[in-house]
């Protein structure tokens, strides 16, 4: 709500729920009490056999009663003027044909270890590619490695991106090299907590991605080490008991974009490719 107020937003036309784990859906009852919401988008019913997830899904269903509700499918495009928002994955399914300009054989797949199946809601996450002119932003929710590899190997169905929201908060259950390196992101953001995500293994894969100019973190990773945290000027919250500072991205249709650290006000501009 604080971010919405700072942006001058008085209503949300769409809210996209990637999956039904508490850190992704738990705030919806408070959200609908605090701001007008038009349409909720999600992957359909909960698919995880756990009591906590069933409880959180029930609270979500109750909160969105009376709102427009759309279940999205891979291959769909969402009707938002000025943007192209392509659904890549949902409910365990994913696109099977390459996006325009993608589809090349992925040379990183040969050395990628096989990934185990995942029966949690993470593997059912909605993943989207948001395109604004020449700017491309990828958010795969909390997809885990097996599902990520299915859209990256043996051919990269996604192509390259400008900005990558590191999957699953930077957890090493996600972010296989064969996906991350094939994306060639120019910048990446880890939306981690002080003790959630940003594992050293996943951090290193993203950090070493070919062509990456900068890696940003939402929090300093307390359970990691100094070598697997970026410099403080690229971390929004450096203390565990944080103030909830943000990272802001402003993109232009020509492919340029700027990342701003809400804690320091420091900005980094990324020019045209």
- Give Cβ neighbours of residue 107 (< 8 Å, ≥ 6 apart): none
Q: Is the torsion defined by CA of 117, 122, 124, 128 positive or negative?
A: negative
Domain co-membership, 142 together with 194: yes
Domain end call among 15, 46, 71: 71
Q: Where are the beta strands (DSSP E) in the chain?
A: 11-16, 36-42, 68-71, 77-78, 84-90, 93-94, 127-132, 135-139, 163-165, 187-190, 214-219, 235-237, 247-251, 257-261, 267-270
11-20 pLDDT per residue, tens: 999 999 999 9
Residue of 106, 209, 190, 87 lying closest to 150 (CA atoms):
106
What's the number of domains the chain is made of?
A: 2
Domain co-membership, 37 together with 127: no
255: left (phi > 0), else alpha (psi -120 to 50), else beta? left
Q: What is the pLDDT of residue 247?
A: 96
Q: pTM for this one?
A: 0.96
Domain co-membership, 149 together with 254: yes
Domain end call among 71, 90, 119: 71
- State the SS3 of 171-234: CCCCCCHHHHHHHCCCEEEECCECCECCCHHHHHHHHCCCCCCEEEEEECCCCCCHHHCCCHHH
- The conformation of residue 160, written as its DSSP 8-state character, comes to -
Q: In angstroms, how far is CA 179 from the centroid of its own chain?
A: 14
Q: What is the pLDDT of residue 192?
A: 97
Q: Residues 246, 213: contact at Cβ < 8 Å?
A: no
Domain co-membership, 252 together with 137: yes
SS3 270: strand
Domain co-membership, 86 together with 53: no
Domain co-membership, 245 together with 143: yes
Domain co-membership, 107 together with 61: no
Q: What is the pLDDT of residue 79?
A: 84
Q: How far apart are CA 37 and CA 12, in angstroms?
A: 5
Q: Is the torsion defined by CA of 22, 168, 9, 133 positive or negative?
A: negative
Q: What is the pLDDT of residue 178?
A: 98
Domain co-membership, 66 together with 96: no
Domain co-membership, 116 together with 239: yes
Q: What is the pLDDT of residue 273?
A: 78
Domain co-membership, 215 together with 105: yes
Domain co-membership, 140 together with 18: no
Domain co-membership, 87 together with 59: no
SS3 89: strand
What is the C-alpha radius of gyration for the chain, rounded to an integer number of angstroms? 18
Which portions of the chain are predicted below pLDDT 50? none
Domain end call among 47, 71, 95: 71
Unique residue bearing structure tokens 């307390």: 222
Q: Residues 186, 211: contact at Cβ < 8 Å?
A: yes
Q: Residues 41, 24: contact at Cβ < 8 Å?
A: no
Domain extent, residue 39, equals 1-71
Q: What is the pLDDT of residue 2?
A: 83
């Amino acid at each position: 709500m604080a971010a919405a107020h700072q942006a001058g937003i008085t209503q949300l036309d769409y809210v996209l729920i990637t999956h039904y784990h508490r850190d992704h859906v738990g705030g919806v009852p408070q959200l609908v009490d605090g701001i007008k919401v038009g349409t909720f988008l999600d992957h359909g019913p909960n698919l995880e056999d756990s009591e906590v997830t069933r409880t959180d899904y029930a609270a979500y269903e109750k909160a969105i009663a009376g709102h427009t509700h759309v279940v999205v499918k891979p291959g769909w495009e969402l009707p938002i003027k000025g943007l192209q928002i392509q659904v890549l994955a949902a409910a365990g399914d994913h696109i099977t044909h390459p996006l325009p300009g993608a589809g090349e054989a992925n040379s990183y797949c040969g050395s990628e270890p096989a990934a185990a199946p995942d029966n949690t809601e993470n593997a059912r996450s909605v993943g989207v590619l948001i395109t604004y002119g020449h700017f491309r932003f990828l958010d795969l929710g909390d997809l885990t490695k097996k599902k990520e590899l299915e859209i990256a190997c043996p051919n990269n169905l996604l192509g390259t991106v400008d900005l990558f929201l590191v999957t699953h908060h930077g957890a090493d259950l996600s972010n296989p090299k064969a996906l991350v390196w094939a994306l060639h992101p120019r910048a990446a953001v880890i939306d981690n907590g002080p003790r959630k995500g940003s594992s050293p293994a996943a951090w290193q894969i993203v950090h070493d991605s070919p062509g990456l100019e900068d890696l940003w973190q939402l929090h300093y990773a307390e359970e990691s080490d100094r070598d697997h945290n970026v410099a403080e000027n690229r971390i929004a919250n450096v203390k565990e008991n944080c103030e909830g500072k943000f990272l802001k991205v402003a993109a232009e249709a020509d492919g340029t974009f700027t990342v701003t650290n809400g804690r320091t006000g420091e900005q980094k501009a990324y020019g045209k490719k």
